[in-house]
Structure 1
Amino acid sequence: MCCRILHMQHKLKYSILLSVMDFLSVSLQPLTVSLAAILLAIFMVGLHARRLCEKTQKRKRYHPVAGTVLNQLINFHRLHDYMTELACKYRTYRLLGFFRSEVYTSDPANVEYMLKTNFANYGKGSYHHSILSDIAGDSIFTVDGESWQHQRKLSSYEFSTKIMKDFSLQVFKTNAVKLVKIISEAVSCNQAIEIQDLLMKSSLDSIVRILLGIDLDTTSGKNEDGIQFSYVFNEANEFILYRYVDFFWKIKRFLNIGSEAVLKNHIKMVDQFMYKLITSKIDAVHKSELPLKKRDFISRLLETKETNPKYIKDMGVNFIIAGKDTVATALSWLFYMICKYPRIQEKIAQEVREATNLKDNSSVDDFAASLTEEVLDKMQYLHAALTETLRLYPAVPVTAKVCFSDDTWPDGFSVKKGDMIAYQPYAMGRMKFLWGDDAEEFRPERWLDENGTFQPESPFKFTAFQAGPRICLGKEFAYREMKIFSAVLLRYYTFKLSEKKIRVNYRTMINLYIDGGLYVLASPRLELERS
């Protein structure tokens, strides 16, 4: 504020000086001379303070400018690769916008400072809230302060209960078995399978079951409302991200035109679907005269007397964002990579057989039942393969916050109040200074020690699950679901791409979808055919 006033004084210095000369030329009365002297003194003090301010500002260094947000718009179809190219030139850089700078970093020291050391200075702020709240509401992903702390504490407690862990384990097993049966039908007809779509539906069924205790069953293709919800939810995801590069989205929303008109309709359908599920759940709880097994999240939430439908809806939507798309996209990229590298696929399958130690002719139900926490913990190579997938194809490729006050980062460069600050899991996974010369290679072994035991990296280097106070609450749930689905599918089938030469790309959304889906051919494993 001080510098702004001094700047105005500096711009007006000549007009002030001319005014003083006018006074002197018209009259030499003592009063006039005194007034002129005062004005001259103010001007000189202001000029001196301005120069001191400029010297102080020159001592601050700001990250190099690598382009503008217009470049993001031009490269939107390949946004994350474009940002990676910039990250290879500058570990941290700025893009200039109309109203603020955007600072992007792939430096773990800066990430740790932002997410942990000075956590309070970086949050969602009104900027991100305005973009995300139309779909996510006032929920854990869009708010800061006491509201965030309350929701975080509540969710953390529920995720840590044994009831929730056991219930989710059973849900994942049940839906993995359903997937095997659907794939079996496709195999018998020699049909290619769009596995990303199947995984999306199965993940949606799983999260809704854990959230509401309702069996949505979109995997079977019979629940048209659920399938429509999944489609519009994905489309809304893309349009929400587009707001970050669309300078006119607020005008379009006000006029209800273009992408904002479509988004408004999609959000309306999402809300209607969620309110319908929540209302039916609340009614079931209230009408029941018998004590229910309160294993799902909403039933347990209702026990706390929290019955505000919007609050429950906002939390539900955010759990779906966190639990559906993230798991399904990660699994889709895993299957893409193991189709490209059959050796890795076979190594995972071999580990799964050894960990369960069941007969080759065991039924899929018996096999799924054998996947206890202890058995899953034995699958160290599978855990490494999933982590390596997330290193190269993180479910959320970029995460942004707002700087609340001027600050200086560990790299010696400064950021300003109001700047948008972001770290880039997608780019960081490809940085040679972090992962070595083979950074862009898919190599699960990089995560294992000489005994084949998984060795985690710093969460500020491997940022797929965030870090610090906002680290992902569902991290262990996600790994559990991914390992169960992978183990069951790879125990019974071998997968390969339906078209080997096809180029697989991502779709630029909040989550890293495979554009156009992933078509694979499945065939029964030979040892099962011989048994």
Structure 2
Amino acid sequence: MNLKEIFSISIPLTAATLALILGIFIHRIHAKITGTEKRKIYHPVGCTVFHLAFNFHRLHDAMADLAFKHTSFRLLSFFRSDVYTTHPPNIEYILKTNFGNYGKGSYNYDILTDLLGDGIFTVDGEKWRRQRKIASYEFSTKILRDFSSGVFKATAVKLAGIVSKASASNQSIEIQDLLMKATLDSVFKILLGIELDGLCGTFEEGTRFSDAFDKASAIMVYRYVDVFWKIKRFFNIGSEAVLRKSIKVIDEFVYKLIKSKIEQLNSSHADLQPVKKEDIVSRFVELKETDPKYLRDIILSFVTAGKDTTASSLSWFLYMICKHPHIQERIAKEVIQATQMSDGASIEELAAGITEETIDKMHYLHAVLTETLRLYPAAPVDGKICFSDDTLPDGFSVKKGDMVAYLPYAMGRMKALWGNDVEEFRPERWLNENGFFQPASPFIFTTFQAGPRICLGKEFAYRQMKIFSMILLGSYKFKLSDEKKKVNYRSAMTLQIEGGLHLCAFPRLSPGK
């Protein structure tokens, strides 16, 4: 075909294209004039960022109040319009159906990266897929499951020993702080194979790390409502100055541990002495992932996921069963029946009786833990960034750059989702007629997310909470130190009890009684 033939074909095609474009343009003009063009509609405005900043001390209840008025609503700030939703079809759409259009984005990345770096909770695309793939494989291995169960039991026994001493001397205990230390000990043992021993306080550096991490986590959350945080970071003043100091402590601690672990592994290879690679970092290093910054971000992501979440959830669990003693006693009986412990069994004997089989029998305990998470989800709000203009299933539009967040805390309190008894703590709602646990839709019970980003550690979290609960409740009865004291949460990355949870423990003279 010569040039003349080519041009003879391309000219009529171009003319046809121009005619089509002109036709579309004329149609759009006609639609605007006649008012027949479909206009985009946006969610009603619920509040401004100043409203949330003013209500930061009761942030999640303020969000719930707004959600009761509007299933989905907008929050206005200086540069953006964020959408908050409790509508399950919307949540399924952003977490699963149109997953590719919703992610962490630069907005969340900018807020979280100072602490979490390029960890799995801050990144999208290939970085996220790579970490997710490796972590997913590791979490599915029997080696890690068995290793973690052993760690959970050993740590829970140590915690029970502290409770035993307090009980013997008739002293109350602040259980949330102990649980924070216990879960951090567990996380570092599983991550790096080291004994942090925060429970006994013998590792001073570990204590400083934990305190710094708690401060940094709280400031990360405050950034979402602090419109001046970038200015404060630039001048290194106020909360941002505290954050910078905290991150310095965190980094010095973590990098030191990473260096020590890599040297240990290299030394074992050089000496031809095989090291049992059960901890996560050792297995990452075995896969040639030795960049300290990469490992640092992975470690802090796992600490975020595994420390405060299970500790805060267990704290709320203990609070609720103290408010409902009959539920506490039913759990204790289930523990004894599942483990077949005899009267007078020691804490160590009870721990030895906890196996995968006995854990699987704890349907009522699973229901109580889940009912706790319904009302007190570890992550009370979670948001994604919209990457391109879109319309949600409820018919309202969202713009590129908008954050679309769902509200587990508010959703757990909505009659439309849970019935008229929504405010009642009723574990039976999670059991079928045969007494077996039955899950709810992950787009209604959103504690562990759903879709491709569903929490990798969900089963690990339940296993840890069950093991801790079985050892503690199989050995002790718990009561609130002050029955009249009102318990509130503090606004942080996870839903923690403000001021801790003070309990009194009493030995069970006969198991389950």
1:247-295 deviations in Å (ceiling 9; x for gaps) = 1100110000111000111011111111111111111111122100000
Greater Rg over alpha carbons, structure: 1
Q: 1:68 aligns with which of 45, 48, 52?
A: 48
Separation in structure 2 between the aligned mates of residue 374 and residue 143 of structure 1, nearest angstrom = 37
Q: For residue 190 of structure 1, what is the aligned residue in structure 2?
A: 170
Q: Is the 8 A contact 2:379 2:494 kept in 1?
A: yes
Q: Equivalent residue for 1:468?
A: 451
**What is the alpha-carbon distance in structure 2 between the residues aligned to residue 134 and residue 388 of structure 1?**
34
1:95 maps to a residue whose letter is L
Equivalent in the alignment of 1:279: 259
CA contact (8 A) 2:102 2:387 kept: yes
CA shift for structure 1 position 529: 12
Q: Residue deviations 1:74-106, cap 9 Å, x none?
A: 100000000000110111011111111010000
Trace 1:202-241 onto structure 2 (pairs within 5 A): 202-241=182-221
1:148 matched residue in structure 2 = 128
Are residues 287 and 438 of structure 1, via their aligned partners in 2, closer, same or farther at CA, if it must alter by over 3 Å?
Answer: same
2:109 paired residue among 129, 151, 157: 129
Structure 1 position 458 matched with structure 2 position 441: yes
Report the AA paired with residue 169 of structure 2.
Answer: C
Letter of the 1:409 partner, please give it: L
CA distance in 1, matches of 2:247, 2:36: 48
Cα distance in 2 for residues equivalent to 1:266 and 1:401: 27
Structure 2 residue 309 is the aligned partner of structure 1 residue 329: no
* 1:57 Cα offset (Å): 7.5
Deviation at 1:51, TM superposition (A): 8.0
Out of 335-344 and 51-60, give the one that drifted further: 51-60
Name the aligned partner's letter for residue 514 of structure 1: I
Amino acid at match of 2:90: N
Aligned equivalents of 2:197, 2:332: Cα separation in 1:
28
Calculate percent identity across the aligned residue pairs.
62
Within 5 A, what are the aligned runs for 1:107-186? 107-186=87-166
1:528, distance to aligned residue in structure 2 (A)? 5.6
Query: 3-state SS of the aligned residue for 2:394?
Result: coil
1:384 aligns with 2:367: yes
Partner SS state of residue 359, structure 1? coil
Mapped to 2, the partners of 1:56 and 1:150 lie a distance apart of 47
Amino acid across the alignment from 1:507: R
Shift of 1:225: 1.2
Specify the code of the residue in structure 2 equivalent to 1:262.
V
Q: Distance in 1 between matches of 2:313 and 2:113?
A: 25
Contact 2:172 2:502 in 1 (8 A): yes
Q: Indicate the SS of the match to 2:504.
A: strand
- Would the aligned equivalents of 2:336 and 2:511 in 1 still touch at CA under 8 Å? no
1:320 is the counterpart of 2:303? yes
Q: Deviations over 1:136-167 (max 9, x none)?
A: 00111000001100000000000000100000
**Secondary structure, in 3 states, of the residue corresponding to 1:520?**
strand
| Cross-structure match for 1:16 | none
Q: 1:401 aligns with which of 384, 388, 397?
A: 384
Structure 1: gaps of 5 or more residues = 1-44
Residue 254 in structure 1 maps to residue 234 in structure 2: yes
Structure 1 residue 497: Cα displacement = 0.4
Residue 365 of structure 1: aligned partner: 348
Instruction: Between 472-481 and 50-59, report the one with greater CA deviation.
Output: 50-59
1:66 alignment partner AA: G
Do residues 520 (structure 1) and 492 (structure 2) align?
A: no
Query: How many residues of Structure 1 are paired with residues of Structure 2 in the alignment?
Result: 486
Matched letter for residue 461 of structure 1: I
5+ residue gaps, structure 2, are: 1-24
Q: Name the amino acid aligned to 1:63.
A: H
Partner residue, 1:292: 275
User: Could you tell me how far apart the structure 2 residues matched to 1:74 and 1:55 are?
Assistant: 41
SS in 1 for 2:384: strand
Q: Aligned ranges for residues 91-106 of structure 1 at < 5 Å? A: 91-106=71-86
Between the aligned partners of 2:302 and 2:37, the Cα distance in structure 1 is 44
Residue 429 of structure 2: aligned partner: 446
Distance, in Å, in 1 between the alignment partners of 2:381 and 2:177 is 23
Distance 1:364 1:145 in 2: 47
Of 486-495 and 286-295, more deviation after overlay is shown by 286-295
Supply the distance in 2 between the matched residues of 1:76 and 1:371 (Cα, whole angstroms): 41
Contact 2:60 2:380 in 1 (8 A): yes
Letter of the 1:455 counterpart:
Q
- 1:42-82 Cα shifts (integer Å, max 9, x gaps): xxx99x85983995886221111111111011100000000
Deviations 1:158-198 (A, max 9, x none): 00001000000100000010011111111111111000000
> TM-score scaled by structure 2?
0.92
Q: Sort the Cα spacing of 1:157 and 1:383 in 2 relative to 1 into closer, same or farther, 3 A.
A: same
